[in-house]
A and B are shown apart, each in its own frame.
Chain A
Amino acid sequence: MEEIIQHLTPLVKEISGYIYPNEIEMHWSLLIVLYPYITGLVAGAFILASLVKVFNVKELQPVYRISLLTALAFMLVAPLPLQAHLGHPEKSFEIFLTPNVTSAMAMFGFVYMWYLMAVLQLEIWFDYRKDLILWARQEKGIRKWIHRFTSFFSNDISEKAIAFDEKAEKIITILGIPSAFLLHGYVGFIFGSVKANPWWSSVLMPIVFLFSAIVSGIALVLLIYMIVTPMRSKQVDMNCLDKLASFLFYAMIVDFSLEILDFIHRIYESEESIHILSELVSGKLFISLVVVQLLIGMIIPLGAIAVTKAFKAPAELKKLIYFTSAILVQVGIFSTRWNVVVGGQLFSKSFRGLTAYKMTFLGLEGLLVAIAILVLPLIILYVLFKLLPPWEEARMKIPVIQENINENN
């Protein structure tokens, strides 16, 4: 208690205007910024993968498995920031016991479980099953057993079974697209449905979240592909990279238009809250919204990619531009999440003043934990890459002479 009071007391000086006395404490801080950021990456990476399966974008085949594993790695971490920010993390299971049907947040567990179990892992399982069986046959020791276990001791690599895998995968992907939309649109809805908060309360919120998710997911896979390929001393597939950049570009245009639409709509409708919101945007949010989110995270990378499209740039230059753009996009999207989550709490619901936020370094809701949560999926991804190599050359061909395998062993 003393700690909290010591944390809050200096904030009083940073308040401008009048805020309700209970509003000094910022309740959703850095960790809740991470939550939509991470689920956005998941949804974006998955939608990228579905481009290959559903829309038959052949150029993106090299990143298909990478994006699935990326989605999985980040998905596994997604509930951590939520869990850590709770006042009582040990009671979080109650959300599964007695979910309140009118609560957007109560649905989180179910949306998450559905997406993780029924979509993401299932699709990965079907995609890898044949390879898992064939890898296991060549391997020895622990890897053999890991692969056998992850295939659930499956054995059938008959033509019929593989055809079934492909069919199932396609069905799951088709189901997966609305599910990915649900996963992240739903996160947007958590904020967009809070009528008390004019900065959040917007019907566009889920859609803006969704498109920014696609942007961030594509940019992340592009980054991972560009970093990992040279590390394996392989050549980056330029066709694939160009295609990734194109999709990134289109998604950004849609995202940018939606954000601008939201902005214009607010100014044009000019509701009661407009005064405090413009004070917020031109003051405490100016750097993170106008400079980082819009200029650095959106306009500069958009322009840069547009230039590579307009003038046929040499491959090396293109790579450099794509790489920097993707990094800028990540910074921009993180800033987008920041501006939504933190920005929405920087003004009083009395619309008469601005509150303040001071990030802590240590503690459950501090910077250190946040960094750990951001690094963790990369570690998981490394392990996944080791266990389930997503590279094209790791794909196994079915041996021509098939052994007679007993299905029941």
Chain B
Amino acid sequence: MKFKFNPDDLKSLVKKSFSSDNINKRRQSMKFFWKNLPEQIRRLSVVAVILFALPLVVRQLLIPTDFGKYGHYRASALDEIVSQEIHYAGRELCNECHDDVVEVKYNGYHKTLTCEVCHGPAFAHTEDDAIELEAPRKRSYCPTCHEYLPSRPSGFPQIISARHNSRKACIKCHDPHDPKPPETPRECKACHAEISYTKAVSKHVDIPCTRCHQTPEEHKIRPREVLPSKPHNREFCGSCHALDAESSEDIPRIDLFEHERRYNCWQCHYPHLPEAN
């Protein structure tokens, strides 16, 4: 005989079992319903209840109480994260005791630097002055920012430490709180290192910067406010490179009227490293 599951069987079983509303009868009919289920179902449902219901109860007990308060996470995690210790005090706090130094710094080139850049994390020090901060005095410290690197933005003051007063500590000449050079730099490369070293390997190595850029003295003191000039037409380059220019014969010549007239020279040739294909 093949067992066929018939939904009507179950329906009639349910009907047969639960037809009466007399409580005593109902209890008996429950028993009747249970007994008439296939044996396998009865055994398995007991096992299923033990295996699933029990873990479900345990699960409810184990979920952290603050979980899901704000989102799918433990709300107290935020408390823990926020309670982390602060090490860097921030720039406002230094002012309270060291307003004289801050004042000096505020007007100098290092005005954007917080004290903690060089002196290290200072929060502990603000609570207890017995804790002293570092004050780097070695020559090796400043080049972290000021050593020449081709990747640094042009205009940022850079030196080659091996060639720049190689035995003196930086702070002998520069006050780190107001690091203006002891004398106005004669050479442009003090700030324009990238351009200067690019030019150094180019054909234009012997041309001084001032040949193309008229530079007011004031630029060396207020570099961003007073700007040097720049050439603004083809004829300027032509003064050396035009066919009829009165310059050394080794210099490459170009017919200014024929050669790519729609462009200015520096749109294709970088003047600090001029290349022709």
Task: Judge A-B direct contact (beta carbons within 8 Å).
Answer: yes
Q: Interface of A with B (CB < 8 Å)?
A: 93, 96-98, 100-101, 117, 122, 125-126, 129, 151-156, 159-168, 407
Interface 9-mer from B40-48, B98-106, B154-162, B208-216: B40-48
How distant is the Cα of A161 from the Cα of B51 in the complex, in angstroms?
24
Interface contact A154-B59, CB-CB below 8 Å: no
A100, A126, A154: the one within 8 Å of B72 (CB): A100
Once the chains bind, are A97 and B59 in contact (CB under 8 Å)? yes
Pair A154/B1 contact, Cβ less than 8 Å = no
Which residues of chain A have C-beta atoms less than 8 A from B2's C-beta? 163
Question: Contacts A152-B44, A161-B38 given; 8 further ones with Cβ under 8 A?
Answer: A98-B67, A122-B44, A126-B40, A152-B43, A159-B1, A165-B40, A167-B4, A407-B39
A168 to B2, CA, bound (A): 12
Tell whether, in the assembled complex, residue A164 and residue B62 are in contact, meaning their CB atoms are under 8 Å apart.
no
Nearest B-chain residue to A96, judged by Cβ: B59
User: What is the CA–CA distance of A304 and B152 in the complex, to the nearest angstrom?
Assistant: 63
Q: Is the CB of B62 within 8 A of A161?
A: no
Indicate if the CB atoms of B3 and A154 lie closer than 8 Å: no
Instruction: Determine whether the beta carbon of A154 is less than 8 Å from that of B63.
Output: no
Which chain A residue shows the least CB distance to B2? A163
For B62, what are the chain A residues with a Cβ–Cβ distance below 8 Å?
Answer: 93, 97
Q: Which residues of B contact A122 (CB under 8 A)?
A: 44
A401 to B181, CA, bound (A): 113
Contact sample, A vs B, 12 pairs, CB 8 Å cutoff = A97-B63, A97-B67, A98-B72, A125-B44, A129-B40, A153-B43, A154-B40, A154-B43, A159-B1, A161-B38, A164-B38, A168-B40
The answer to whether B40 and A161 touch across the interface, beta carbons within 8 angstroms, is yes
Q: Which residues of A contact B70 (CB under 8 A)?
A: none
Interface residues of B in 6-39 (CB under 8 A from A): 35, 38-39
A-B contact count (CB 8 A): 55
With A97-B62, A100-B72 known to touch, is A161 a contact of B5 (CB < 8 Å)? Answer: no
A125 / chain B contacts, CB cutoff of 8 Å? 44
CA distance A373 to B62 in the complex (A): 30
Which listed residue (B40, B47, B68) contacts A164, Cβ 8 A?
Answer: B40
User: Among A96, A129, A151, A407, which residue has the most Cβ atoms of chain B within 10 A?
Assistant: A96
What is the bound-complex CA distance between A9 and B38, given in angstroms?
A: 65
Q: Which residues of A contact B38 (CB under 8 A)?
A: 156, 160-161, 164
Q: Are A98 and B5 within 8 A (Cβ)?
A: no
B40: chain A residues at CB < 8 Å are 126, 129, 154, 156, 161, 164-165, 168
Residues of B within 8 A of A100 (CB): 72
Q: How far is the CB of B71 from chain A (nearest CB, A)?
A: 11
B221 → A minimal CB distance (Å):
41
Residue of B nearest to A153 (CB): B43
Q: In the complex the two chains form, what is the Cα distance from A122 to B38 in whole Å?
A: 15
A67 to B67, CA, bound (A): 43
Which 6 A-B pairs rank lowest in CB-CB distance, beginning with the nearest? A163-B3, A156-B39, A152-B43, A164-B3, A97-B63, A164-B38
The 0/1 profile, CB within 8 Å of A marked 1, for residues 43-80 of chain B is 11011000100010001001110011000100000000
